[in-house]
Amino acid sequence: MDRVEYESGVVLHRADHGRVRLAFTERSGGVSKPPYASLNLGSHVGDDLAAVEENRRRALAALGCEADAPRLLVPNQVHGDDVVVVRNSDERELAVIRERIAAGADAIVCTALNVPVLLCFADCVPVLLTCGDTAFAVVHSGWKGTYARIAAKAARILCSETGLDASHIRAYIGPHIQGDEYQVSADLLHTFSLRFDNIEDTASRLLDLSACIVSSLEEIGVPPCEIHDLRLSTVRLNTRFFSYRAEAGTCGRHAAIAVAL
């Protein structure tokens, strides 16, 4: 992925594959005031909603899809493993999709053109997937979603929708709390060690969520060379990304965004 800073001040880590544009945002270039400064893309954190709307417009403009803003899909993320599929841009179908994702969803698989998808983050792991020229998935993987292998679940659905196998998947893992920063309870670490062979039950109680995600994707056949972890820490790079832990629970949200044009 390339890090691109736009005249607006928006910074994207972006990649294009076929007709799909993918990006992770940084926190600069928006209009939100502290503690949400400045490109807060989450509407559920207490920020001014007009500011959030403007921030989303700026992010979509940087990605080159501002005209598609009326079709933007932003789910209510509930730390589950529900994956919603979007197959066309018909307004009636999108209305149904919006109702469904408002009830809770943590991944969207999209094979439709001109439908931007945006999910919000502030330590949890963002995952972007592509398969073929026009299909993509945007995934929110907190510890619960990671344990449920939501990224692999979305990848399997993406393959089913495109008729391609997992060797055609390309995955990007965005900014998140890193394995040397994320300390959890001994019980939770032990639970993960039983499910993921690459997680050790150690006294440090540090959990590497991205390692679990990589393992789950490789297990279903995604080539290791097609899994790209940006290895960006939301905690150590808190001036560039939002971090729930580093900011004591009051902060904005950066995003993972994708669209096929």
Q: What is the pLDDT of residue 64?
A: 97
List, for residues 94-124, the tens digit of each pLDDT value.
999 999 999 999 999 999 999 999 999 999 9
Predicted confidence at residue 131, as pLDDT, reads 98
CA distance 69 to 52: 13
Q: What is the pLDDT of residues 153-207, one digit of tens each?
A: 999 999 999 999 999 999 999 999 999 999 999 999 999 999 999 999 989 999 9
Question: Mean per-residue pLDDT for 123-140?
Answer: 98
Please give the helix or strand (H or E) that residue 59 lies within, else none. Answer: helix 49-63
The predicted pLDDT at position 174 comes to 99
Strands (E), the chain: 2-5, 11-17, 20-25, 83-86, 107-110, 117-121, 125-131, 135-141, 169-173, 227-229, 254-260
pTM above 0.95, yes or no: yes
Please name the helix (run of DSSP H) or strand (run of DSSP E) that holds residue 57, with its range, or none. helix 49-63
Q: Would you state the pLDDT for residue 246?
A: 97
Tell me the domains of the chain and their CATH numbers: 2-260 (3.60.140.10)
Using CA atoms, how far apart are residues 147 and 7, in angstroms rounded to an integer? 40
